[in-house]
Structure 1
Amino acid sequence: MTQFGELEAAIMDAVWDAGKSLRVREVLERLDRDPEPAYNTVHTVTEILYRKGWLSKEKDGRAYKYGATKSREEYVAGLMDEALSVAGNRTATLARFVQQMQPGEAEELHRLLGQAVAKEASE
């Protein structure tokens, strides 16, 4: 998995934030970029995201609507997994990551790990 390019990320953010499928024109309206990219540019990058499997495509009249096939959380988790895969020592990298967390985040991680362990034990 590779990180999205700048426009890819902006398009995915627009679709994720909308929580529904959007036409390219609607995506363009939601982009907060200066200068505003051309419609054809947004359409091309949206099609690339569709071909990569990040967006679904459904006919809507004469146009198409594009919706996210994976959540923002799935994307970020994939990036984290990729980062850990290049780490020389995954455990040391995870320890460093946890040390940088805010106290509330570390507590939430501890709770989630407890749930994962309990689920494993019950399977």
Structure 2
Amino acid sequence: MARFGELEAAIMDAVWGAGRSLRVREVLERLERDPEPAYNTVHTVTEILHRKGWLSKEKDGRAYRYGPTKSREEYIAGLMGEALAVAEDRTATLARFVQQMPPGEAEELHRLLGQAVAREAGEASK
């Protein structure tokens, strides 16, 4: 999974933050960039994100609305998986990652791992 470029990330942040599909004009209004990119630039990058599978596209009058096909969490999880894929020692990398977590997050991770193990054990017994 490739990391988003700067404008791609800003567009995805705008769409994720909206919680609904947006027209390109609405995306442009939500971008907090100085200088503001041109409408055509935002339209082009939005279309690229659609072709890459990150945005859905639906007709709305003469324009289109774009909505996320994947969540921000799915994107970040993919980046984390990509980082782990290049780690020489995945276990050491995971250990370092967990050591840097605040205690509450480490406890939540422990709980989620327990659920994943139980789910996997249940699927293995089928």
TM-score (norm 2): 0.96
Give 1:53's aligned residue.
Answer: 53
Aligned match of 2:68:
68
Fraction of identical pairs, as percent: 87
Superposition deviation, residue 39 in structure 1: 0.4
Counterpart residue type for residue 15 of structure 1: V
Aligned to 2:26: 26
Q: What do you get for the CA RMSD once the two structures are aligned?
A: 0.5
Q: Post-superposition shift, 1:108?
A: 0.4
In structure 1, the partner of 2:104 is 104
Structure 1: which amino acid aligns with 2:81?
D
1:79 and 2:79 matched:
yes
Displacement of 1:61 after TM fit?
0.1
Report the Cα distance in structure 2 between the residues aligned to 1:63 and 1:77, rounded to whole angstroms.
Answer: 32
Structure 1 unaligned spans of 5+:
none
Partner-residue secondary structure (3-state), 1:3: coil
**Which portions of structure 1, spanning 4 or more consecutive aligned residues, are displaced by more than 3 angstroms?**
none
How far apart in 1 are the matches of 2:99 and 2:39?
44
Return the alpha-carbon distance in structure 2 between the equivalents of residues 8 and 37 of structure 1.
12
1:13 aligns with 2:28: no
- 1:34 is displaced (CA, Å) by 0.7
Partners of 2:86 and 2:114 in 1: CA distance: 26
**1:104 partner amino acid:** G
| Amino acid paired to 1:118 | A
Q: Distance in 2 between matches of 1:3 and 1:121?
A: 34
Secondary structure in 2 matching 1:101: coil
In structure 2, the residue matched to 1:44 is: 44
Distance in 2 of aligned mates of 1:122 and 1:75: 28
Count of matched residue positions in the alignment of Structure 1 and Structure 2: 123
CA offset at residue 55 of structure 1? 0.3
TM-score normalised by structure 1 residue count: 0.98
**Unmatched 5+ residue regions in structure 2?**
none
